[in-house]
Amino acid sequence: MSQVSVRDDEVDIVIAAIEPDLTSFLEEWRAVFSRFHLIIIKDPDIKGELKIPGGFNYDTYTKADIQQIIGPSNAATFSGYSCRYFGYLLSKKKYIISIDDDCIPAKDTKGIQVDAIAQHINNLLTPATPFFFNTLYDPFCKGADFVRGYPFSLRNGVSCALSCGLWLNLADLDAPTQALKPELRNTRYVDAVLTVPARAMMPMSGINIAFDRELVGPALLPSFKLAKEGKFRWETVEDVWTGMCVKVVCDHLGYGVKTGLPYVWRKERGNAIESLKKEWEGVKLMEEVVPFFQSMKLTPAAKTAEDCVIEIAAAVKEQLGRIDPVFTRAADSMVEWVQLWKTVKTRT
């Protein structure tokens, strides 16, 4: 891995507190997290005070803070896993990293604990190569390079805006797959990073991600809410929708997206069969969503992430809105998010 050269005060770690007691989670991450500022958002639907051990530099935000800043009518947008987006909104740092509170540090094949923050930052600091696929993975990783036949005109790469990490143990499968294979666990640690090719969509998981807020912050948005959305990853698709939005934005603006390292170890949580009752709506809707994003093309007038989101929202309402009202609501939420992003940023 190339040397990380970013100041600690350029990074915010955003944590969505789905459970009030964060003691075990933060103790597991102490060696990695204690150098950085944490933004902890308490899910507005959970009861009880947050329990946070000492020795961390953090700010916490609750339902009252959400309502004060964005108003009571929009507070529901930030419930469940979507509460993390409130942290994205308030952060003033260039780099944002977010890891779910049911994850602990993973160990690599040598038994060494993975520094997920350093790897995410390295992914973001080194160029991405979305316009021509390098078969030796990320050419900027230690021990790799561009293969024979890779055009020299493309070897400088482009800025990487999004880093999508992976998971050991409980992989981020959908509820139908996990219900059919209840014993399936991911034990394969693949020491590799890939740039996702331009125009290729992917199901981004919000469990373990990092992004450059200055490049694509407004495209990381809480807009797609299922009618029966629950409190487990199996029961949501908001991050998958967001991932396709931000991928379209990156493709249009000429940025890259990486996936692979770093890994986290994901603990057991929830019941896939029970979650299937809630997520099935999202599973069906994805069959409409994916072709839409695959064919999405933005106009030359869209020069910023905010511009891109507004254009995507208009297309969502026009092309998908007639299929299901959830898409119309998503489009409206996307426009509201951009307005909210601009309003909050002008205050700071």
Q: What is the mean pLDDT of each run of 10 residues along the chain (348 residues)?
A: 74 96 98 97 93 98 92 80 95 97 96 97 97 95 94 98 97 87 94 97 96 98 80 80 97 98 90 70 87 97 98 98 94 95 85
Rounded CA-CA distance 263/91 in Å is 24
Nearest to 296 by CA among 199, 217, 162: 199
CB-CB neighbours of 124 under 10 Å: 26
What pLDDT was estimated at residue 278?
Answer: 62
What pLDDT was estimated at residue 336?
Answer: 94
Nearest to 264 by CA among 21, 28, 4, 12: 28
What pLDDT was estimated at residue 272?
Answer: 76
What pLDDT was estimated at residue 123?
Answer: 97
Rounded CA-CA distance 166/337 in Å is 27
3-state SS string over 6-64? CCHHHEEEEEEECCCECHHHHHHHHHHHCCCEEEEEECCCCCCCCECCCCCEEEEECHH
- In three-state secondary structure terms, 162 is strand
Nearest to 248 by CA among 301, 311, 194: 311
Q: Is the peptide bond before 325 cis (omega within 30 degrees of 0)?
A: no
CA distances from 319 to 41, 237, 316 (A): 34, 19, 5
Yes or no: say if 6 and 123 are a contact pair by the CB < 8 Å rule: no
CA distances from 143 to 108, 127, 137, 138, 252 (A): 17, 16, 11, 10, 31
Rounded CA-CA distance 101/89 in Å is 19
Rounded CA-CA distance 10/94 in Å is 6
Rounded CA-CA distance 259/204 in Å is 9
Which DSSP string corresponds to 92-152? -SSEEEEE-TTEEE-B-TTSPBP-HHHHHHHHHHSPB-TTS--TTS-TTSTT--PPTT--G
What pLDDT was estimated at residue 76?
Answer: 76
Yes or no: say if 228 and 278 are a contact pair by the CB < 8 Å rule: yes
Q: What is the pTM of this model?
A: 0.95
What pLDDT was estimated at residue 1?
Answer: 40
Sequence letter at residue 112: I
Rounded CA-CA distance 39/86 in Å is 9
Up-side HSE of residue 91: CA atoms within 13 Å toward CB?
A: 32
What pLDDT was estimated at residue 77?
Answer: 83
